[in-house]
Amino acid sequence: MNKIQRTSLITDILNDYYKNLPVPLDHTNSFTLLIAVLLSAQCTDERVNKVTPLLFSKANSPVKMIKLTEKYIYNIIRPCGLGPQKSKAILGLSNILVKNYNGRVPEALDELEKLPGVGHKTASVVVNQAFGIPAFPVDTHIHRLSQRWGLTNGKSVLQTEKDLKKCFPENSWGRLHLQMIYWGREHCTARDCWGLDCKICKTCYPNRKKKFLHKKP
């Protein structure tokens, strides 16, 4: 089975399993999405969703956020881990948004990446899920699955993103991003499957006998 055949099969299976997926992180606008994605670094979406209701009840916009102290923010978000860095970034980017963007989250990827605590993946999630701009954010699940499914060599997360964008049409990137995350959590986890057991791995590589050891980001 060649790569074109695999991508078609992968698309069909994912569309069959996941027709309408919700965005995993609870949010009400582009700013709260940005903050939620920032908090999700090295933290589960489930935990973020338990923390953000209190934070967003106090500040659901940059204008309101800059009225809070860094310590106050830290005390709320501490369960998400990396509290000192994240609270500093949240306050810092909120000040920049108020000062330079009239309190609005910019839609341009390069502008988002200039904000404190906002990397390429975070910016990609925001432009896609908040503004509908085509992007293919790659997290650990997607990086792992892409290697198990023979879509990339796993040299780096950025290389995986480039390879996936070549494999799939632009209008499917956002949907596939969510579908692959859910598949990685539910069917092809880091400590199970190993490229041998889930439906997609077995169908793409029916003759694979040994565990597939993926490269970590």
Instruction: State the catalytic residue, choosing from 26, 45, 88, 139.
Output: 139
**Which tokens in the block code for residue 196?**
């041998």
Which residues does 111 contact at the CB level (< 8 Å), separation at least 6? 101
215 carries an active-site annotation:
no
Neighbouring C-beta atoms of residue 143, cutoff 10 Å? 23
- Per-residue buried b or exposed e for 186-211, using 16+ beta carbons within 10 Å of the residue's own CB: ebbeeeebbbbebebbeebbeeeeee
Q: Which amino acid is at 122?
A: T
192 carries an active-site annotation:
no
Which amino acids are annotated catalytic?
Answer: 121, 139
